[in-house]
Amino acid sequence: MRVIRHVIPVLITGLLCTARLCAQDSNGAIGGKVTDGTTQQPIADVTIAITGTSHSVLSKSDGTFLLSGLGSGVQHVRVTRIGYSPVTQDVTVNAGGVTSVDFAMQPQAAILDPVVATGYGRQRREAITGSVSTVDATSANKGVKTNVDQLLQGRAAGVEVTQNGGEPGSGVQVLIRGGSSLSASNDPLYVVDGVPINNVQTEPDATGIGGAPALARNPLNLLNPSDIASITVLKDASATAIYGSRASNGVVLIETKQGQAGANGPSFEYDGYAATSSPLRRLDVLNGAEYRTFVQDQVTKGNLPSSHLAALGPANTNWEDAITRAAVSHSHNLAFNGGSEDTHYRVSLNYAKEQGVTLSSALERIQGRISATHSDLDNRLRIGVNVTTSRVNNTYLTYEGGFGGFEGGVFQNVATFNPTQPITVTDSTGTHYYEIGGTSTRNPVALANQITNLGQTNRTLANSSVEFDLRPGLTARVNVGLDHANGQRQEYYPAANPVGVALGGGLARVAGLDNSTQTFQSQLNYQTTFGDRNSVDFVGGYEYSKFKDNSVTAQGIGFFTDAFSFNNLNAAQTRTDYSYAEESRLVSFFGRANFGYQDRVFVTGVLRYDGSSKFAVGHKWAAFPGLSASWNLKQESFMQNTPFSDFKIRLGWGLQGNPGVGPYTSLITLAGSTGATYPFGDSPQGGVLAASNGNPNLKWEQTSQVDGAIDFGIFHNRVSGSIEYYHKNTKDLLLTITVPQPALQPTQLLNVGKLSGHGLEAALDAVVVSKPGLIWRAGLVFAADRTVVDELTAPGAFIETGSVSGQGQSNQFSERLMPGQPIGTFFGPVFTGWDAQGHQLFKCTSATPGCTNGQTVGGGGPSAADYQVIGHANPDFTLGVHSDATWGRFDISFLVRAAVGQDVFNNTALVYSTKSDALQDKNFLRPALTDPTGIHEPAIFSSRWVEGASFVRLQNITVGYDLNLPVLTRSARNARIYVSADNLFLLTGYSGLDPEVFTEGGLGTLGEDYLTYPRPRTITGGLRLTF
């Protein structure tokens, strides 16, 4: 926080006044000017400081500065500014005189703040000993960005962000260093302005009618990306250990923009854009004419009964066109920023509306934010308040994600609905949607338009902090946070739609979910320097968090009219209501000490002691230590005459935990439910059954990690980068596994098994060109992670994951977790080809009945004994390349992302690339037309459907122009227009909709592609004005 940034020098001053510096006569000064070494232009806001003291000053808009009150003698002067390489110089100060010095600064490759958030405090970048990636929010906020996670995509090494589809505001899977858990959460911990966020779903699930419910939207949609100043990702255990039990998946520290007292008074900023989106790729299904020809041909050949001709309609409908659209989005931000010397404020307001590329999907956000800081008592007391409140209105496409089950989903019917039939028909009763009737065959346009599925979330995130300097260098801080989210879901399946009929003549459902988190933090910080640039920085504190959630759902079935929609459940024939409530608490004590020796060697030790109510009695508390060190070799004499302007070696080790399980899982609990109800006589007797076996030994999942890294800069940091290697081991995995019987439930949550992983990350930034009028920076992030299951319950034991979706695929799994194999290992039969009758053939061994010449015979199908590893869902490596160039008043930037070597199971192709759909008058994907598969052949999961899915994606390209129009510059300080394109092209050999797939069900399942919401290509035009 800015407060702290202001405070640290002051603290140091106070402390040092007791030491030798203040004891001297301070009557000398240094004055001069700072310029850009390339453009020769003056630079404002440069910090000119005396190393090891609190003396510092900012340069003015003409680049000049005067730093007075210095002792006579040689002073170490350090000149720093974001985006420039720091300059240090020894200057001799004469008592009573002003020594004149000018500084020329060189642009630096990476745009990095010299002060870094580290959790419960900030540190100078040099003092960082752990693995930390920083993302500058301004340069990442290009194109249409709805939430914080999108800012991280491709910009932080080892942080993989996958959106669950192209739906507006959709949820994301964020994996830092490949994740560390199989069934507990793999989400990182998000900390906003120092307050950890309980990153849980804020809107209730929709009904799972005949399939899984629609995916939830991203809980972080609350935050407006334009309000974010910086994002810091803590990756290794030594950096994250300060967050202890919640840190095993990494920590994302988000700092929001704070008010500034501008030299020219308050400023006012408008930032807005309008965008249009369309689907990037499409499902390749037969068109009406092709389908008609196919059916006629099959009837002629005698493969289909002639009655199927009657099912052919007169139309030629492209169902995908019918449910997709060119979507329009726009966003408007207003920010007001200002203050006096002691009081700063920033107020912002955002309105954003994003339309999805399919019908009936959209997101609307109205969000407001106030932040204010005040300092008093000669800056010894500092108070800060941040309040963000938002309203998000979601419109959901019913059965988004395609999980339509037996009732049929929108995307499922886009693939299968007969293309020779029209969208609507007109008869004597008027115009209505054409429906074929029958299981899971529904007009997708009617589904999208007739079924209502809405969600709203109100969320307020507030925190208030008070800091007081008890004595110089010693600061007490209290921070209180409140996070309250109230989400609603409203659905209506009208009787006008066949799904509504099948559900009992109209189904209405209203659900509410209320989440709240209260956080209290108190901490003490102590900072001091002594001797020749030696420093100590200590943080100790206590944190208490209470999490509560409760939910109410009311459902009615059977309405005599569709007119009420979900607004009059009393009119339903039958009603079902549910409610639940739960609560958990987390109590922590933490401490961190950082020692610096001559700015050469830094050592950090961390200890956190966490207690969570979720674990069993006697296992609720655990300690999480971390230890790390760095050695800045550049300070050593042997590095003086090398091209290296920076060279740092870091080593770290730490333990982290994962409590990502629900409350009460250690207890045997009894639940009253329909499953426990039994008729005594002819009336139901409400009953109870054990909902869980409990586990009196339930404890933390624990990850230990070692990290080694080199940070370097060459040619005055015109090229800089870091290379990191890590190795991590997770033990006591929280796994729900088969339990010895008799037991109250077939499975139990146990701490079993081990996982290990190692990986390499590299980041490289360079100033490619720097000359007057043109500066071009480019950067690259690279990551490779290998995570392997080391141990499960028993030798040879495996866990089946990755349920295959679709008709005829019950109890078929596509993946296995097995010792010695990575997570995301596809396991199944090996496809070898077809026989003359169109039967698929599979590899087998002679030991299997019906195996001839190593292949199955006829329609016998594969045998479980012949299953083997048929692919891996993890990429060999991922890459992000970003480039920013400014040329005169133009700026151009782009971001390219790539992942190489991973496989994806194309579940969509398995189920819909099958001609046997025509037996039910359903359409199928075009490749099936030409493959030799027989029309009666079932869809069988095999290696045939596991495809290479390497890709290169142009994530974003933006061209901006700095307007310097007299009509504007008279009042506006700054004006910029830009055009931006997201997802402009995708290079991949993968045949499905998109090689980047989001898979539900935790880390245990990866790389499954089934009827995802199409990812859009978006073109944005925007304007930014500052007055």
891-950 residues in contact with another protein (CB under 8 A) are: 911, 914, 916-917, 919-921, 936-941
Q: Enter the DSSP assignment of 63.
A: S
- CA-based nearest residue to 51, from 105, 97, 91: 91
Instruction: From 249-257, 442-450, 663-671, 698-706, give the range in contact with another protein by CB under 8 A.
Output: 663-671
Give 978's contacts (C-beta < 8 A, 6+ positions apart): 891, 958, 959, 960, 961, 1020, 1021, 1022, 1023, 1024
Asked if 506 contacts 500 with a C-beta cutoff of 8 angstroms, the reply is yes
Judged by CB under 8 A, which stretch of 182-190, 347-355, 741-749, 969-977 contacts another protein? Answer: 741-749
Sketch the per residue contact string, 433 through 472, with another protein: x for CB under 8 A, - otherwise.
-----xx--------------------------x-x-x--
Instruction: Indicate the residue among 129 and 416 with the shorter CB distance to another protein.
Output: 416
Q: Please choose, from the candidates 58, 71, 66, 59, the residue with its C-alpha nearest in 3D space to the C-alpha of residue 17.
A: 71
Could you tell me whether strands 799-803 and 974-982 are parallel, antiparallel, or unpaired per DSSP bridges? Answer: unpaired
Nearer to another protein, 168 or 481 (CB): 481
| Residues contacting 67, CB < 8 A, separation 6+ | 29, 30, 31, 48, 50, 55, 56, 57
Distance CA(286)–CA(304), nearest Å, equals 18
Type of residue found at 1017: R
Of 111, 105, 110, 109, residue with least CA distance to 37: 105
Q: How many CA atoms lie within 13 A of 999 on its CB side?
A: 28
For residue 555 the two structure tokens come to 């459902």
Tell me which of 97, 262, 432, 580 binds another protein, using CB under 8 A.
580
Span 317-356, contacts to another protein by CB under 8 A: none
**Please, which residues have CB within 8 angstroms of residue 530's CB and are 6 or more apart in sequence?**
19, 536
Please state, as a whole number, how many other Cβ atoms lie within 10 Å of the Cβ of residue 322: 17
Q: Which of 268, 336, 542, 644 binds another protein (CB under 8 A)?
A: 542
Binding residues for another protein restricted to 857-886, rule: CB under 8 A: 858-865
x/- site string to another protein, residues 748 to 777, per CB under 8 A?
A: x-----------------------------
Determine contact, residues 1007/903, Cβ cutoff 8 Å: yes
**Of the residues 31, 37, 625, 663, which one makes contact with another protein according to CB under 8 A:** 663
Selected from 25, 794, 847, 970, the binder of another protein by CB under 8 A is 794
Of 676, 869, 929, 979, the residue at the interface with another protein (CB under 8 A) is: 676
Nearer to another protein, 742 or 966 (CB): 742
CB of 222 to another protein, least distance (A): 26
Contact with another protein (CB under 8 A) among 223, 691, 698, 946: 691
Cβ distance to another protein smaller for residue 149 or 937: 937
Cα 745 from Cα 757, distance rounded (Å): 32
Q: Could you tell me which stretch among 183-191, 709-717, 790-798, 1017-1025 binds another protein (CB under 8 A)?
A: 790-798
Rounded to whole angstroms, the Cα distance separating 793 from 738 reads 9
Among 138-146, 575-583, 976-984, 1003-1011, which window interacts with another protein (CB under 8 A)? 575-583
Whole-angstrom distance, CA of residue 50 vs CA of residue 79: 9
Out of 302, 681, 820, 966, the residue judged to bind another protein by CB under 8 A: 681
Using CB under 8 A as the binding rule, the residues of this chain from 400 to 439 that contact another protein are 406, 438-439
Query: Binding another protein by CB under 8 A: which of 336, 526, 597, 664?
Result: 664
CB of 580 to another protein, least distance (A): 4
Q: If binding is defined by CB under 8 A, does position 509 make contact with another protein?
A: no
Dihedral sign from CA coordinates of 682, 686, 691, 697: negative
Nearer to another protein, 10 or 690 (CB): 690
> Could you write out the DSSP letters of every residue in 400-432?
GGG--GGG--HHHHHHHS-TTS-SEEEETTEEE
- Closer to another protein by Cβ: residue 438 or 888: 438
Report yes or no: 1014 and 279 within 8 Å, Cβ to Cβ: yes
Q: Which residues pair with 31 in a beta bridge?
A: 66, 100
CA angle 575, 581, 585 (to 5 degrees): 170
Rounded CA-CA distance 998/873 in Å is 11
Rounded distance, CA 47 to CA 86, Å?
10
Toward another protein, which CB reaches closer, 434 or 595?
Answer: 434
What values do phi and psi take at 553, rounded to 5? -130, 135
Contact 118, 726 (CB under 8 A): no
Length of the chain counted residue by residue: 1027
Nearest approach, Cβ of residue 992 and another protein (Å): 19
With binding defined as CB under 8 A, does residue 536 bind another protein?
A: no
Distances (CA, A) of 493 to 299, 403, 828: 38, 16, 38
Residue from 69, 73, 643, 684 touching another protein (CB under 8 A): that is: 684
Q: Which of 576, 598, 642, 964 binds another protein (CB under 8 A)?
A: 576
Choose one: 226-234, 279-287, 674-682, 994-1002; the region binding another protein (CB under 8 A). 674-682
How are beta strands 26-36 and 98-100 bridged, if at all?
parallel
Q: Find, among 87, 83, 128, the residue nearest to 109 by Cα.
A: 83
Q: How many residues bind another protein (CB under 8 A)?
A: 113
Which sign does the torsion angle of CA 938, 939, 941, 945 carry?
positive
Q: Which is nearer to another protein, 277 or 440 (CB)?
A: 440
Decide if 915 contacts 171 (C-beta within 8 A): no
Query: With respect to another protein, which residue has the nearer C-beta, 243 or 776?
Result: 243
Determine which residue in the list 85, 360, 801, 809 makes contact with another protein, applying CB under 8 A: 809
Which is nearer to another protein, 774 or 929 (by Cβ)? Answer: 929
Residue 677 lies near another protein (rule: CB under 8 A)? yes
CB of 247 to another protein, least distance (A): 19
Per rule CB under 8 A, is residue 375 in the interface with another protein? no
Phi, psi of 208 (to 5 degrees): -100, 60
Asked if 745 interacts with another protein (CB under 8 A), we say yes
Shortest CB 585 distance to another protein, Å: 6
Residue corresponding to tokens 């004595």: 471
* Binder of another protein out of 73, 262, 675, 932 (CB under 8 A): 675
Q: Which of 90, 680, 846, 853 binds another protein (CB under 8 A)?
A: 680
User: Which of 739, 885, 952, 977: binder of another protein (CB under 8 A)?
Assistant: 739
Nearer residue to another protein within complex by CB, 145 or 620: 620
Q: Is 672 in the site for another protein (CB under 8 A)?
A: yes
Under the criterion CB under 8 A, does residue 308 sit at the interface with another protein?
yes
Which parts of 246-305 interact with another protein (CB under 8 A)?
305
- Would you count residue 737 as binding another protein (CB under 8 A)? yes
In the complex with another protein, the residue whose CB is nearer, 624 or 941, is 941
* Contact between 669 and another protein per CB under 8 A: yes
**Using CB under 8 A as the criterion, what x/- string covers residues 695-734 for binding another protein?**
----------------------------------------
Q: Strand 327-339 relative to strand 381-395: parallel, antiparallel, unpaired?
A: unpaired
Of 239, 168, 158, the closest CA to residue 1014 belongs to 168
Closest-CA residue to 720 (of 85, 25, 67): 85
Kindly indicate which of the ranges 224-232, 757-765, 779-787, 852-860 contains the residues binding another protein, using the contact rule CB under 8 A. Answer: 852-860
Task: Choose which of 47, 450, 612, 705 interacts with another protein (CB under 8 A).
Answer: 612
Judge residue 8's burial from the number of C-beta atoms within 10 Å of its C-beta, 0-12 exposed, 13-18 middle, 19 or more buried.
buried
| φ/ψ bin of 312: left (φ > 0), alpha (ψ from -120 to 50), beta (otherwise) | beta
Q: Is 846 in the site for another protein (CB under 8 A)?
A: no
- For residues 781 and 898, give the distance between their C-alpha atoms in angstroms, rounded to a whole number: 10
Q: For residues 138 and 920, which CB has a smaller minimum distance to another protein in the complex?
A: 920
